[in-house]
Structures are given as structure tokens and as C-alpha cells.
Structure 1
Amino acid sequence: MSSVVETVTEVVLPILEEKQFELVEVEFVKEGKSWFLRIFIDKEGGIDIEECAYVSEQVSEKLDAMDPDPIPQAYFLEISSPGAERPLKKEKDFEKAVGSFIHISLYQAIDGQKQYEGILNEVTEEHLTLTYRVKTREKTVVFDRKNIAKARLAIQF
């Protein structure tokens, strides 16, 4: 984890805890010539634009007051909801997603596939079990947690 992400996480957590918001993810990335500091937040029932604006103001004030500046380069601050396709990062994210339709990307292919979408059936410390469709048939696959590059909720069409 980068020092910027660690520092911002330390700054944002007390602000979110005060409002009973959840920190979903902090990322600091360069896209083209610009740097972006993205903070994804959520709460039961979802986050609205006023709540994002409040967190943005609070985080900006705290970061601007820090000396030395933890982010010396120019950047854009974005505070938002993780959206309908929320990433699954923490253990509780996976546990809450049991029974939901999810997307999984793997480091190493299983049966020639590195991406799967289906219903998350079971979560253990070492494995995830997913039921997915191949044409008209349902199949179940068990993933080793170490092989999962990314996981997120998905919209089923």
C-alpha cells in the first residue's frame, strides 16, 4: 500500500466514523498526465451527493493543514459511492455478498477462463464457491482465495 493511501486512510477514517460511514477503498492513481485521489464511501441505504461533498470538504481541510504535505503533486480529489458494482475487498464484503451475483477475475485461469460471473454460494477463509451458467447448465466452481485478483458485485442481465 502506498504511503499516500495509508496517510489518507488515517485521515479519512475518523471523519467517516463520526458519520457512521464505511470506507470502501482509497486509491491514488495517475491517469494520463493527472493524478487522482479517489475515496469510495458507503453506508446502509447508500451515500448521497451531500454526504460525499461533506467528506470531500473535511478531507481537503485535513490534508491541506498537514505539514509536510503528504501529496506534493497536484491531484484531483474524488469522493463517491462504490456504485452498484461495488468491489469486494474485506472479509465482511464477501460475507455480505453471499447469495449475490458477482464478478471474479483470477491471476491464473481455471478451465481456460480468468473471469467468472455467477452467484456467490460460500465463503471460507481459503475458498469461494460460485455457481455460474454455461448456456442452459449450471456449474459450480471453487476458487482458491490466493488466485483471486479482483472481485466485485455485478449486475445480472
Structure 2
Amino acid sequence: MSEVQQAFEAVVTQIEHDPAFADIEVVTHSIGRRGAGLALTLTIDRVGGVDIGSCERVAAHVNDALESCPEPYSLEVESAGLERPLLRPGDYQRFAGKNARIVTTLAIGGAKTHRGTLRGVVGTNVELHTPSGTLPIPLAAIRSANLEYDPRADLAANKRERKRNG
């Protein structure tokens, strides 16, 4: 592992535990090759959404930490987005009530792709409310999962919020 890779891994761990970044969640990070240097990507999320200021703050911190590394690199700090991946059991709990798409490694209820509303985690299963009922999906059987953005539901929620606030 190169000096840049080691420093990047260390600064990512530091961001995950630093109170100064308590509002930032590191969703994923990766290291790849780009030309003669390394391509470092850090995907973040934040309650209320990621803005350019959040990305700039994290990028500045990472660049400061890697400043003394001689190897060339490029850094990209990006938002997890509206359809962010769900990677940890806590993600399914945090986003309970949101729409999601879950792809499994084996067929459950006759299908490998499931869409519905997250209900959270019960034991070792993610509970997904689908049109045909609540489907328990073993965490170990999940190949990939992400939130699904529904603009109509978002519009309806915003309308209800405006009505409530007068």
C-alpha cells in the first residue's frame, strides 16, 4: 500500500470519529488508478443533505492530511445522492419509512429484486413493506440496496408540510 493510500485510509477513519465532522457520514470510499496517479473518491452524506460547503470542508481536510505525500493523486468528494446506497444494518433503520430497492443473492418470494417501503431491521432481517405485504429479507442475502426517490411522494410531503406550517 502506497503512502497516499495509507494516509487516505487513516484520514477517512479520522473523519468517521472526529467530533468536528459529527454531521458527516462517510458512506463509501475507494482508491483507484487514474493516469500516473491515484484516484481517491469519498462519498458522504449528511442529515438535511450534502451541500457544496460540506464537500469543500471534507476535501480541504483530506488534502491537508495528504499534503506531504509525494505520489500524485486526484480527490473527489461527492454526495451519496437521493438514491444513496444502503450498506449497513443501521442504514435500514435510519431510513425506515423511505422507499427502497433491494436486490438479493437468492430468490425471495419468487424474485431477486424487491421494491417497497423500509420498515427497519428485525433480528437479522430487513423488513420491506411491499404491495403484497411485509417481506423479511435476510441481511446476509442482500447483494445491493438503495433508496428510491419518488418525486410524487416528495411533492406530497412538501405540500403537507406547507399546509401544516400555515
Aligned equivalent of 1:151, options 145, 154, 157: 145
Q: Which residue of 2 aligns with 1:28?
A: 30
Provide, for residues 70-100 of structure 1, a one-character-per-residue CA deviation record: whole Å limited to 9, x for no partner: xx5x443111221101222233321121111
Identity %: 26
User: Could you tell me which residue of structure 2 aligns to residue 80 of structure 1?
Assistant: 78
The alpha carbon displacement at 1:31 in A equals 7.5
How far 1:19 sits from its partner (Å)? 3.9
Q: CA deviation at 1:59?
A: 0.4
Structure 2 CA distance for partners of 1:106 and 1:31, relative to 1, 3 Å: farther
Aligned partners of 1:117, 1:75: CA distance in 2, in Å?
Answer: 39
The aligned counterpart of 2:127 is 129
Instruction: Please tell me the residue identity of whatever aligns with 2:146.
Output: R
The residue matched to 1:76 in structure 2 has which SS? strand
Corresponding residue for 1:54? 57
| Structural RMSD (CA) | 2.8
Which residue among 11, 17, 20 is the counterpart of 2:19?
Answer: 17
Q: In structure 2, what residue type is equivalent to 1:115? A: T
Provide the TM-score with structure 2 as the length reference: 0.71
Conserved 8 A contact 1:102-1:151:
yes
Classify the secondary structure of the residue corresponding to 1:65. Answer: coil
Structure-2 change in CA distance of 1:114 and 1:6 (3 Å): farther
Structure number having the greater helix percentage: 2
Contact conserved, 1:20 with 1:43, CA < 8 A, in 2? no
What is the rounded CA distance, in whole Å, between the counterparts of 2:68 and 2:34 in structure 1? 28
1:45 correspondence with 2:48:
yes
DSSP 3-state at the match of 1:98: coil
Shift of 1:60: 0.9
CA distance in 1, matches of 2:39, 2:109: 37
Q: 1:65: which partner in 2?
A: 68
* Stretches of 4+ aligned residues off by more than 4 angstroms: 31-35
Amino acid at match of 2:40: L
Unaligned runs of 5+ in 1: none
**Which letter maps to 1:127?**
N
Change (3 A) 1:122 1:8: same
- Give ranges in structure 2 of 5+ residues lacking alignment: 152-166
User: Which structure: larger Rg?
Assistant: 2
Q: CA deviation at 1:127?
A: 0.5
Question: Residues of 1 paired with 2:74 and 2:101: CA distance?
Answer: 29
Normalized against structure 1, the TM-score is what?
A: 0.74
1:14-67 alpha-carbon deviations (Å, 9 max, x no partner)? 5x630432223232254786853221222221221022112111101102235x
